[in-house]
Structure 1
Amino acid sequence: MTRAISLQEVTKVYSRDVTAVDRLSLDIAPGEFLVLLGPSGCGKSTVLRLIAGLEEPTSGTLLLDGEWANTLAPGDRKLAMVFQHYALYPNMTTRQNIGFPLRIEAPHDNPRPRVEEAARTLGIQDLLDRYPAQLSGGERQRVAMGRAIVRRPSTFLMDEPLSNLDAKLRTRLRAEIATLTRHMGVTTVYVTHDQSEAMSLGDRVAIMRDGVLQQTGTGREVYQLPDNVFVAAFVGTPRINLLRATVRAPLGGRMSIDFGPQRIELPHPLSPEHQMLRIQMGREVTVGLRSEALRIAPPQHMRPSEVLMNGVVQHVEYQGHESLVHVATGARAAEVEGLEAPRPEPRRPRASRREAARSGRLGRLLGWATEREGSSSVATLERPEEETGRPPGTLPEGMVVRASAEMQPRVGEHVPILLDLKQLYVFDDAGRRICPAPRRLPDLEH
């Protein structure tokens, strides 16, 4: 199979042993639109810079059109980048900004025909004589894309090009980028932390975490069959409900999943999707339920694949076309690390010698008092950020249930929740998906 871009066991390590990309293997086909998705700081922009030649791999192999390219100069790679910031020359018109790469590559050729062709493609032919200060944010981003298009590259590299735009304009330009790249047939690698962009734009989505590739597949595959609990938690709006539970199998009874205050019984015999639960008996697991797998309805409306839980309404988010009902069930929320970029520790001003001595004496006194009284006051003083009572990485308590816009439950109301077992995810203690069992999604297009 022909590959436009191939990364084979690529690793990038910066100074102080900071590993930005760890043994990444990824193949991108010619004309494919691949989205690199993940939280800020996961290494996706570093991958883009490695492909562009702005960084060299510490180890591994980068192939462009089958040719070794680890040390190939950026100018020789036939790539064009579009950045988050437009990086337009303020003293140049739109025409001059778009044509600037051509004047560098072929100073004796007339760039006008190609500039006008790129402008027509992007619908900005009326803006060619304006300066960047006279353009809106969306128009500036189109000019930046025109500067990339005019080179007629083999590959587009886009590093969060829409993140500086408002939501309405971002949605419109998203559709324009998808149409443009498919029309041109250009291989595109698009970096974003916005899952809506990833799911709507990409032929495939590659999800990263801490420099490690977690899963690659179509938007439908990564949403419906996440390989691990991180992918399940990161992909999907609202975020998937993840709860800690224990698998129970009493003698002569039906297998169940115990959430603590409540438990649900599984069908007997077990369905093929739930067979792997047999090896988890007595163990703690993480149960995942997307909001569309739950509904608020009386038990008499229960379907064959549904089981009953009970909850108390905490909050209702009215979305116009639907409502998101937050319901407390007493179940314990799961912890998923790395969903957000780590916040840098605040810099503390350097203390004077007198203050240092005073704090040293105070610390010794607090330690002495803690030893005598068994108090935890020192930990409380040192970790005020945990006053919320929820450890870092813990998802909010309760579950989110999709409901019709007409449904208006009251806060504090007790409601029955019908849970569809066909849409039940179970992850083992290492975070790997065990239910449903690995399988291919049916091809809905044929």
Structure 2
Amino acid sequence: MARLELNAVGKSFGPVRCAEDLSLAVEPGEIVAVFGPSGSGKTVLLRMIAGMFEPDEGDILVGSRSIVGAPPEQRGIGMAFQNFALFPHMSAQNNIASGLPAKTGAAEVASRVKSISQLLKIEHVLGHRPRELSNGQKQRTALARALIGNPDVLLLDDPLRNVDAKLRYEMRLELPSLLRRSSAAVLYVTQDYREAMAIADRIAVLVDGRLVQVARPEEIYARPASVAVARLFGDPSINLAE
């Protein structure tokens, strides 16, 4: 497995600056949560790594290899989207298998789909189409598709946002062990500070396109780098006095 490294990455859309001087390293087997308010640039960051957008400046490396300019299929990256993005006309089994290269043999495809579906406890719904699945089953199917190719880097764009509260709580407990079994470098985007603290080894706090603090959850909670970071953690939010 390989290390993910961002070196001074920046991105603008016209006059809007979505990412500025982003530098971050994620080790194999490590889960880093990218946490911040809506519009802070979290999804843009994932899409630059995945190859949907190219950065205006800086470099993105997987291992020692720069992936800037490389086609998405050659980057060694798996991604699970917030809205699941499953093919509606395909069964869960075929949706999962679509994460494998086209030249993979039928026997290997069947073996790997069976293995990953058992791991995620969805083997009983492999013949179902997305409209027949619950949101939790859709989320696990999307995660299985992202994991099946054994990617070096796994990108998760707020994957629990569209599931109910009970399942969200259960998945917070299950996901860390599931993700660590893959040994991929994981970037996990979320707007929920509880989710970030429960799942991540480290949290990267993103505000207005800048990383304002990167540290372990307990350190950010106890010693926020600024008032802006402190306001993002805790319920009710922190009290401030002159």
TM-score by length of 2: 0.95
Shift of 1:108: 4.6
Whether 2:102 is the aligned partner of 1:105: answer: yes
- Structure 2 matches for 1:68-107, cutoff 5 A? 68-102=66-100, 104-106=101-103
User: 1 CA distance for matches of 2:99 and 2:218?
Assistant: 38
Contact 2:202/2:215 (8 A) holds in 1: yes
Q: Residue 55 of structure 1 aligns to a residue in which SS?
A: coil
The count of corresponding residues between Structure 1 and Structure 2 is: 241
CA distance in 2, matches of 1:89, 1:52: 19
2:3 alignment counterpart: 4
Conservation of the 8 A alpha-carbon contact between 2:19 and 2:209:
yes
Q: Which runs of 5+ in 2 are unaligned?
A: none
The one-letter code of the counterpart of 1:105 is: A
**What amino acid maps onto 1:155 in structure 2?**
V
| Cα deviation 1:370-427 (Å, max 9, x = unaligned) | xxxxxxxxxxxxxxxxxxxxxxxxxxxxxxxxxxxxxxxxxxxxxxxxxxxxxxxxxx
Aligned residue for 2:98, secondary structure, equals helix
Answer with 179-188 or 79-88: which moved more.
179-188
Q: 1:187 & 1:14 partners in 2: Cα distance?
A: 28
Q: Distance in 2 between matches of 1:28 and 1:229?
A: 26
Give the corresponding residue for 1:179.
Answer: 177
Structure with the higher fraction of residues in helix conformation: 2
Shift of 1:3: 6.8
Q: 1:29-428 residue pairs with structure 2 within 5 A?
A: 29-102=27-100, 104-106=101-103, 108-110=105-107, 111-243=109-241, 245=242
The answer to whether the 8 Å contact 2:2/2:184 transfers is no
Q: Distance in 2 between matches of 1:206 and 1:237?
A: 19
Alpha-carbon distance in 2 for matches of 1:95, 1:167: 26
Runs of 4 or more consecutive aligned structure 1 residues displaced over 3 Å after TM superposition = 107-110
Q: Which has the higher contact order (CA 8 A, sep 6+)?
A: 2
Q: What are the ranges of 5 or more consecutive residues in structure 1 without an aligned counterpart?
A: 246-446
Aligned mates of 1:60, 1:210 — CA distance in 2: 18
1:174 Cα deviation from its structure 2 partner: 2.0
Q: Secondary structure at the match of 1:117?
A: helix
Give the whole-Å Cα distance in 1 for the aligned partners of 2:231 and 2:152: 35
Rounded Cα–Cα distance in structure 2 between residues aligned with 1:69 and 1:78 = 9
Range with bigger deviation, 138-147 or 88-97: 88-97
Partners of 2:208 and 2:117 in 1: how far apart?
39
CA distance in 2, matches of 1:146, 1:108: 18
Quote the Cα distance in structure 1 between the aligned partners of 2:2 and 2:41. 22
Change (3 A) 1:38 1:56: same
In structure 1, C-alpha distance between the alignment counterparts of 2:43 and 2:87, rounded to whole Å: 23
| Partner Cα distance (1:120, 1:97) in 2 | 15
Query: Does structure 2 conserve the Cα–Cα contact (< 8 Å) formed by 1:3 and 1:27?
Result: no
Asked whether the 8 Å contact 2:4–2:153 carries over to 1, the reply is no
Deviation at 1:189, TM superposition (A): 0.4
Question: Counterpart amino acid of 2:9?
Answer: V
CA 1:226–1:3 in 2, change beyond 3 Å: closer, same or farther? farther
> For 1:206, what is the secondary structure of its paired residue?
strand
TM-aligned CA deviation for residue 105 of structure 1? 2.8
Q: CA deviation at 1:184?
A: 2.3
**Cα offset for 1:146?**
1.1
Task: Report if the CA contact (8 A) 1:86-1:140 is conserved.
Answer: yes
Offset of residue 221 of structure 1: 0.5
Greater CA radius of gyration, 1 or 2?
1
Asked whether the 8 Å contact 1:202–1:219 carries over to 2, the reply is yes
* RMSD of aligned Cα (Å): 1.5
Per-residue CA shift, 1:241-285, capped at 9, x if unaligned?
A: 112x2xxxxxxxxxxxxxxxxxxxxxxxxxxxxxxxxxxxxxxxx
Separation (CA, whole Å) in 2 of partners of 1:35 and 1:242: 26
Q: Which amino acid aligns with 1:4?
A: R
Alpha-carbon distance in 1 for matches of 2:104, 2:177 = 31
Distance 1:199 1:101 in 2: 29
What is the correspondence of 1:8-23 to structure 2 with a 5 Å cutoff?
A: 8-15=7-14, 17-23=15-21
**Distance in 1 between the 2:189 and 2:196 partners?**
8
CA distances 1:112-159 after superposition (whole Å, capped 9, x unpaired):
111101111101111111121221110111111111121111111000
- Tell me if the contact between 2:150 and 2:182 (Cα under 8 Å) persists in the aligned partners: no
